[in-house]
Chains A and B, each alone.
Chain A
Amino acid sequence: MVAHALAEAVAYPAVGASLDVERISHAFDIDGNALPVLEDVSFSVKPGEFIALLGPSGCGKSTLLRLVAGLGAPRSGVLREDGDPVTGPFPSRVVVFQDPTLFPWRTVWNNVALGLEAQGILESQRQRVDAALDLVGLSQFRNAYPHLLSGGMAQRVALARALVNDPKILILDEPLGKLDSLTRITMQAEIVALWQRKGFTTLLVTHDVEEALFLANRVIVFSNRPARIKADIAVDRPYPRHRGDPKLAELRRNILGLLGLDATW
């Protein structure tokens, strides 16, 4: 497989974990009725791979990410991180939510330090917080409170807060959804650079087909709720990618077709 060869050529530092999603189904109870959200979803992610998840709004993407993070248990099926079943949240799998959800009573530095503090290793590892802030370019704002930050800065802090834990799997739920298009493009490039440098496995939910193609090794397309996998598409283009790449444009047309938006695009 071309995609595979390419992934190996990029010589990832081996910190990413593999993720196996095995026949996951999930449903919510709403007023006594079961609302099926995920239906028999299975896929595998190799260590260090970057997967984008695309699908109609409300189909169950965030639900799947929460299950991967361990914030809930699926009705049926198993999730495995490096072969071990996921039973609850663990800092090797860190989520960046669509909303940055910074803690308003903590300074930027203390927000980033949260994970290390919760694990009781902050005192010996303070330099990791500084390094994470450097990484997202916000060292100057270490003592600022979140209400002083712009949306893009807040999202970068949320990213640093996740990265400081050296996650094996980074879970991104539309992290750039609310940003203006310029900040968005910059942050996309930053995420690719970070991912290439750190080598973690990445799951990214996005509504933006172009973003998915710009960032991911593979794009998984879901159906309407309950979400089933409609297509699993390898994007075997080298990084850094170019938005004008005709191969990407072709893939984009395919994917939009799968999402029900046809030829006119």
Chain B
Amino acid sequence: MSTYSASKTVALKQSAEEGAALSGRPPSLAVSLPSGGTGVFASLAWVGFGISCLWWPDIGDWPRTHQLAAAALVIAGAIFLASVAGNRLGRFNAGLQRRAPWLLASALFLTLWEVATAKFAWLPLPFFPPPQSIIEVYTDDLPKLLDSILASVKLQLGGYLIGATVGFLTGVSIGWSRSVGYWVHPVLRFIGPLPATAWLPIAFFTFPSSWSASTFLIALATGFPVTVLTWSGVASVSNAYYDVARTLGAKPFFLVRKVAIPAALPHVFVGLFMGLGSSFAVLVVAEMIGVKAGLGWYLQWAQGWAAYANMYAALIVMSLLCSGAITLLFRTRDRLLIWQKGVVKW
């Protein structure tokens, strides 16, 4: 810790280098400016955004404009303080350095959005709501939004876990046992490629509730890619591994658990990613058509009322949730497949 001011410049310089080392190669903007410089500019841009909210009068009736401006100024202040504090914030500072260009760009984008909608209506109004009306949705319609989020997460999680588990077990069985493969493979070939949404009409009247029907569909959408990729993973395990394990005394169950499955795991994760993608699609459709809850339903409800701000708000939440789910899956994979070299960082 430096308490002597002469050492400060050195410390700041060092922190910039740390930041650069951590981020690999940040855009040249961040490098060419003195340390913390981009942070200061980002802070200024946020001030600009705050002022843009207040400078011109709103052309519509949006009660959250002042709060939005205040929030922008608070963010600007926080960025400014953090940039000036520099090295004393340690790792946080490195993260800030790396993100400063993005903070700057997003402030510029928000300003443009604000001006183009709320102030001059360059974009046709009901279809392109300003930022403050989306904030308004998050503050005023929070209970309904939270209910929808909860419903979506519950449905998605249940269906995905069932589909992934069943798919994994099926894939391992087909890959391992010839006789299981004989019976399951044709069924898989016949049913698997069918988009899960094609089952929608049938599922909704054969299942006791629309919730169980949707769970089934999500599980189906997840299960197919997981099954196929697990299967191909298990089938492509080199015989040399089995030979080695067998000469060391491994029994069939050990071979499945400790050789086939770990060797197939990279494939399994590819299947899990594909399954996640297609199950999101099914989730939204199922919620729009059958289940009267969840973000998909919220979207449709908002459309019915021409509540465009609610739609954008729900879309943003949805994208955060999907991205969060993918990130979680990537983290899990990175943990389990730490032995692989050169995995993609998400």
Contacts and interface: CB of A to CB of B under 8 A. Distances in A.
* Interface core residue of B248, B250, B263 (most chain A CB under 10 Å): B248
B14 to A, nearest CB: 31
Interface residues of B, number: 23
A118 B245 contact: yes
Contact of A97 (B244, B262, B341): B244
B269 to A, nearest CB: 13
Contacts of A94: 247-248
The number of chain A residues touching the other chain, given as a range, is: 20 to 34
Contact of A101 (B240, B249, B250, B341): B240
Interface string B120-162: 0000000000000000000000000000000000000000000
B258 A117 contact: yes
A103 B247 contact: no
A165 B259 CA distance: 19
B339 interface: yes
B237 to A, nearest CB: 11
B339 A119 contact: no
Contacts of A147: 339, 341
B241 A101 contact: yes
B248 A118 contact: yes
Contact of A89 (B246, B258, B263, B339): B246
Interface in A169-195: none
Given A91-B249, A115-B248, A105 B241 contact: no
Contacts of A91: 247-249
A95 B249 contact: no
A29 B145 CA distance: 67
B55 to A, nearest CB: 59
A112 to B, nearest CB: 10
Contacts of B339: 104-106, 145-147
B199 interface: no
Interface in A49-76: 66, 69-71
A114 B251 CA distance: 12
A117 B255 CA distance: 12
A133 to B, nearest CB: 16
Contacts of A115: 248-249
Contact of A103 (B241, B243, B254): B241
A165 B249 contact: yes
A91 to B, nearest CB: 4
B265 interface: yes
Nearest to A111: B244
A95 to B, nearest CB: 5
A51 to B, nearest CB: 18
Nearest to B251: A118
A105 B244 contact: no
Nearest to A72: B243
A61 to B, nearest CB: 16
Nearest to B341: A147
A99 interface: yes
A69 B240 CA distance: 13
Interface string A88-125: 01110111010101011110000000110111000000
Contact of B249 (A66, A99, A103, A119): A119
Interface in B330-346: 337-341
Interface string A132-162: 0000000000000111000000000000010
Contacts of A105: 262-263, 265, 337, 339
Nearest to B340: A104
A161 B247 contact: no
B260 to A, nearest CB: 12
Contacts of B258: 114, 117-118
A137 B52 CA distance: 69
B240 A70 contact: no
Interface of B: 238, 240-241, 243-251, 254, 258-259, 262-263, 265, 337-341
Given A145-B338, A165-B249, 20 more contacts: A66-B243, A69-B247, A89-B247, A89-B249, A95-B244, A99-B240, A101-B244, A103-B259, A103-B262, A104-B339, A105-B262, A105-B339, A106-B339, A114-B244, A114-B245, A114-B258, A117-B254, A119-B248, A161-B244, A165-B248
12 contacts: A71-B243, A89-B246, A91-B248, A95-B243, A95-B247, A101-B244, A106-B262, A114-B245, A118-B249, A118-B254, A118-B258, A145-B339
